Amino acid sequence: MAELVTDALADLVDSALANPGLHAKAEIALVGEVLGGTDWVGGPGDDGAVLDQGVVACGEALFPPFVRADPHGAGFAAVLTNVNDLAAMGAEPLGIVDTVVGTEALAREALAGMREAAELYDVPIIGGHLTIHDGEPAISAFGVGRTPAALSVTNARAGQSLVVAAALDGEMRPDFPFFPAFRERGSRCAGDVRLLPALARDGIVVAAKDISMAGLVGSLAMLLEPGRLGVTVDVARVPAPDGVPLTRWFNCFPSYGFLLCVPPGREADCRAAFAGRGLAAEVVGTLDASGELALELTGERAVALRLDEYRVTGLGQPTVSDSDF
């Protein structure tokens, strides 16, 4: 039995470290190399830039193969990713600005996807740019929001509980590592993303990171990197949808999935808030000062990476901060 568990845990660690989305994050170091030491967010490593009076700005470019294969889905994702980034900063979405480059047919599909997402998440599209041409398509979008209390990763501390929150009602896409739950959530989506600002305001959550294309382990590494913190994740406690192998779940982009840092004593409040909306949330570990990101399953523990040896984004140094690259 122990050998089977060890094999399963090793497969999970290997799949997380092989995730192309994790490796792509190392390219972010280029930003600091070119622009130098800045303080765009009081970061480094946050999902959005915090400006005066709690205004948050962020932006996303969509994966080009996804844009080509599914322009409607890419348009939807352009809004969704920004709404999630704003939520991860504890911000309510105020508006989306988009850019679309492609044929007229592709642009129509992309804009229709953006409109659908904007209506579902109750956030207006307030402007943008359109270029019609027959070459390679591209879609980007930028979000603006306001936060009562920014959920910066610089607030993460040893001793805080790590909570994973996710919407599990959905199905994994067969072609891309994406788990959409928004069709099943429907009109609840707008309230779902606005839950995090409420938790930020009440001090129930102090830092957060949305689970992105880097997967759960890669996104968690980005959260831990600035403070060189560590955590051992209890894999069995991570909320996961039925019928989806953990090697896929840990390496996908869920339409609603967040890593939350919760002060000691506030865990029950956090779990109850998500449960009240029909969302899953569980404490999966406690942050520590080890600098090790490890996974634990049925008594077996495996270190996925050590932050003093592995460069996730290269933005952990105090001279460099991250907007939303």
Cis before 65 (ω within 30): no
Average pLDDT over residues 84-92: 97
User: In this model, does residue 320 exceed pLDDT 70?
Assistant: no
* Number of domain units in the chain: 2
* Within-domain flag for 140: yes
User: In this model, does residue 225 exceed pLDDT 60?
Assistant: yes
Q: Which two tokens stand for residue 244?
A: 């989806």
Average pLDDT across the chain, whole number? 90
Q: What is the CATH number of the domain that holds 54?
A: 3.30.1330.10
pLDDT by residue (tens digit) across 151-179?
A: 999 899 999 999 999 999 999 999 889 99
pTM of the model: 0.90
Which domain covers residue 68, as residue numbers? 47-146
Q: Which two tokens stand for residue 250?
A: 């840990």
278: left (phi over 0), alpha (psi -120 to 50) or beta: left
* Within-domain flag for 256: yes
Q: State the pLDDT at residue 172.
A: 94
DSSP state, 28?
A: G
Report the C-alpha dihedral over residues 104, 105, 109, 114, rounded to 10 degrees.
0
How far is 280 from 56, CA to CA, in rounded Å? 26
Report the DSSP beta bridge partners of residue 210. 258
Domain edge (last residue) among 90, 121, 146: 146
How far is 20 from 229, CA to CA, in rounded Å? 23
